[in-house]
Amino acid sequence: MYHSPFYITENHSSNAFSFEKRNSPKIYVPSIIDGRIEDVKIGTEVVFEDFDEHGKLQSCIGLQNFIRAKHPQTGKPVIIVDNHNHVFYFWYEACQRGEIERGITLVHIDAHRDTRIPERNMTADEAKDLKSIFNYTNSVLNVGNYIPPAMEEGLIGNLVSITSERELEVASPTGNFILNIDLDFWAPEMDYIDRKKTMEIIRPWMKAAQMITVSTSPFFIEQERAIGILHELFAVGNFVVN
C-alpha cells in the first residue's frame, strides 16, 4: 500500500473538511519510498485544504513522498508522513511485520489530542487485512480522529498524550511504545515552549521507542519549518529553524 500516489476526491477522510465550500475539492496522497531523514522534501501537490480562522482558504502543499527510514542509532522503524492519519496504517503494517506488538503504548506528542471519534470503528475482519486498513485510513480517518479506533481495536493499549511542555516534563515512558510526533508541537504559536529542552527530553525517547511515526502537518505548520525541526530532532546536518 502507498506504493503509488493518488487523490482523494470524495467527501471523506481529510478531504471532508469544508468539502461543500471548496471548489473541486481534492487532496493528494504521496507514495512512500525507502530513504533517510534527509530525503524528506516538500512536494508540489495540495494534501490538505480548509479555511483558517479568518475565513481564508488555505491550500497546503505536503511532502513529495512519505519516507520509510530507520533510526540512525537503533535501526528501529521511522515513518514520516504529512497528514497524521496515515500513521494508522503504518502502525498495523509494523504489527504484521513483527516490529511492534499489539497492546503497545502510544506516546503522542502533538499540539492537538487527535482523539475525536470517527464515524465508525474498523470491524474485526478489516483489522486483519492491510488493504482493508488502508481503505479505512483513507476513507474514514482524518487528521483528528485516528487514535481512538486503534485503541478500540486493541492495537494501542495505553495512550500518553502530550500537548504542552509541562506534560512533556512529567511524562516518563516505560516498556515498549510507539513515539508519535506531530511537528506542529513546534509551530510558531508554540514558541513559548523551550525547544532546546523539549528536544533534550524527546531524543532519548526516540532511542527507546519500538517505532517512531512523524507528521509534518501542513495545515498547522509551514513545511520548511517542519523539516528544519525534523532535522533538529534527528540531529541531521546543519539545521536552521526560523
Q: Is residue 197 part of a domain?
A: yes
Q: Is residue 49 assigned to a domain?
A: no
- Judge whether 205 and 176 are in contact, CB under 8 Å: no
211 domain-assigned: yes
Q: Kindly state whether residue 17 falls inside one of the protein's structural domains.
A: no
Residue 7 included in any domain: no
pLDDT, averaged across the chain: 96
What pLDDT digit, counting tens, does each position of 115-135 carry?
999 999 999 999 999 999 999
User: What is the pLDDT, as a whole number, of residue 241?
Assistant: 52
E strand segments, the chain: 6-8, 27-29, 32-34, 42-51, 57-63, 66-70, 77-81, 104-109, 156-162, 177-182, 211-215
Rounded to an integer, the average pLDDT of 153-166 is 97
Neighbour count for residue 64 (Cβ, 10 Å): 18
Confidence at residue 120, expressed as pLDDT on a 0 to 100 scale:
96
- Residue 42 located in a structural domain: no
Q: Tell me whether residue 195 is in a domain.
A: yes
> In the predicted model, is pLDDT for residue 239 greater than 80?
no
pTM of the full predicted structure?
0.96
Split into its structural domains, the chain has a count of 1
CA distance 106 to 151: 9
Residue 174 lies in a domain: yes
Owning domain of residue 136: 65-233
CB 25 within 8 A of CB 19: yes
Average pLDDT over residues 170-181: 97
pLDDT tens for 63-93 read 999 999 999 999 999 999 999 999 999 999 9
CA-CA distance, 35 to 20, in Å (whole number)? 37
